[in-house]
Amino acid sequence: MGRALSGPPLAVLATAGRGEGRGHLARALALAEAAQEAGIACEVALLRGEPSAAEWARAGAAGATFAGPEALARGRVPLIVDLPDPNEAGLTLLARATAFDDRQLLASPARVVVQPSLPAWSPAPGGRAGRALVGYAFAPLGRSVLRAATERRARAAQAEGAIPRVLLCFGGSDPADVTARLGVALAADPRWSLEVAVGPDYRGAAQARGLAVLREPPDLTELLAAADVAILGAGTMKFEAAALGTPALLLAVADDQLPVGPPFAATGAAAWAGDGREVGPALVVELLAALALDPRRRAAMARRGPEVVPGDGARRIVAATMTGIATEEAE
């Protein structure tokens, strides 16, 4: 547990809107956990959507509270903005905020910018920051991931000849239903055992097509850590898999994942399979087999992941926000 909360509070503006995934809120909660460890109270203001029961519980464990965006008008506390388009926050808030800019849309000044999804930051015209925190080392991960990463590294290697465990998960909503589109073919292959997890906003046809589905499993981090390979969208979970040392096959399940998946895979921390809304199931089966059935390749990817995503991004972002100066830079 963190120290008793004191000192200047911290606010995070995020979203949990339908069709936007749950990654922005997941990052906000990771920041709340890092703030708690630093003894800083945190409030999460949601621009859209509502927390799920699991997200409520996670916030409570971090000593964080939820509020609507109008709460940000109450004072000038240090602020982090994590929205699909940071410009939604408005000029006044951005001028004093740390702003995530994964899609490089920022068109006005911000105090600090975080670009964790690409190895370089190129803002839109008018966008600038006093400090830019750029690179995968600034991906904010929750403490459950950091704890599981330590436990995974101590885990015995998979027994030779054992059937690989594969986890299929495309985030909180998967609006294009890539889960059902690819899951049937993946589940039918006897060369691995498949677990399928979906988020609280999933409304697809996986169960109707005969897939056994885990909906918002409370032990998702443990499932990801225990998997020999994960098949994921190219969003937030790719960072979690890398930090855990879980080899991952990435597919885009939304337009904004298309530009970020290939450069992340180029680091060696994952493999890229293309646009999951279009790529054929047979090709995904082939790519999975090439990874899941190659222990040496999996081991190399497992070693590389924590080098690319060391896991302390949330702490570093909170520190930069509270001081206005980044004291560390990603290598």
pTM of the model: 0.90
Residues 127 and 20 in one domain: yes
| Amino acid letter, residue 261 | G
Domain membership flag for residue 120: yes
The phi, psi pair for 189, rounded to 5°, reads: -85, 125
Residue 97, domain extent:
10-140+311-323
Domain membership flag for residue 331: no
Give CA–CA dist 112/327, Å, rounded: 12
Looking up residue 155, the CATH number of its domain turns out to be: 3.40.50.2000
Residues 219 and 197 in one domain: yes
- pLDDT score recorded for residue 248: 98
Q: At CA 314, angle to CA 234 and CA 73, rounded to 5? A: 100
Residues 132 and 34 in one domain: yes
- Per residue in 280-325, pLDDT tens? 999 999 999 999 999 999 999 999 999 999 999 999 999 999 985 4
Indicate the pLDDT class of residue 73, thresholds 50, 70 and 90.
Answer: confident
Residues 315 and 283 in one domain: no
Share of the chain above pLDDT 90, in %: 82
| Amino acid letter, residue 280 | G
Domain membership flag for residue 1: no
Domain membership flag for residue 329: no
Give CA–CA dist 116/243, Å, rounded: 14
Residues 190 and 211 in one domain: yes
Residues 117 and 166 in one domain: no
Residues 133 and 264 in one domain: no
Show the tokens assigned to 117: 């999804």
Residues 176 and 261 in one domain: yes
Give CA–CA dist 229/244, Å, rounded: 11
Sign of CA dihedral 270, 276, 279, 282: positive
* Number of domains, the chain: 2
Residues 181 and 295 in one domain: yes
- Per residue in 134-179, pLDDT tens? 999 999 999 999 999 888 766 545 555 689 999 999 988 899 999 9
Domain membership flag for residue 198: yes
Residues 136 and 177 in one domain: no
Give the per-residue SS3 of 14-46: EEECCCCCCHHHHHHHHHHHHHHHCCCCEEEEE
Domain membership flag for residue 87: yes
Domain membership flag for residue 38: yes
Residues 59 and 202 in one domain: no
Domain membership flag for residue 244: yes
Q: At what angle do helices 143-153 and 237-244 cross, to 10 degrees?
A: 30
Give CA–CA dist 268/252, Å, rounded: 17
CA distances from 11 to 40, 65, 111, 302 (A): 10, 10, 14, 35
- Per residue in 226-284, pLDDT tens? 999 999 999 999 999 999 999 999 999 999 999 999 999 999 999 999 999 999 999 99
Complete edge-to-edge strand list for the sheet that includes strand 271-275:
213-215, 193-198, 165-169, 229-233, 248-252, 271-275
The phi, psi pair for 245, rounded to 5°, reads: 80, 25
Residues 147 and 110 in one domain: no
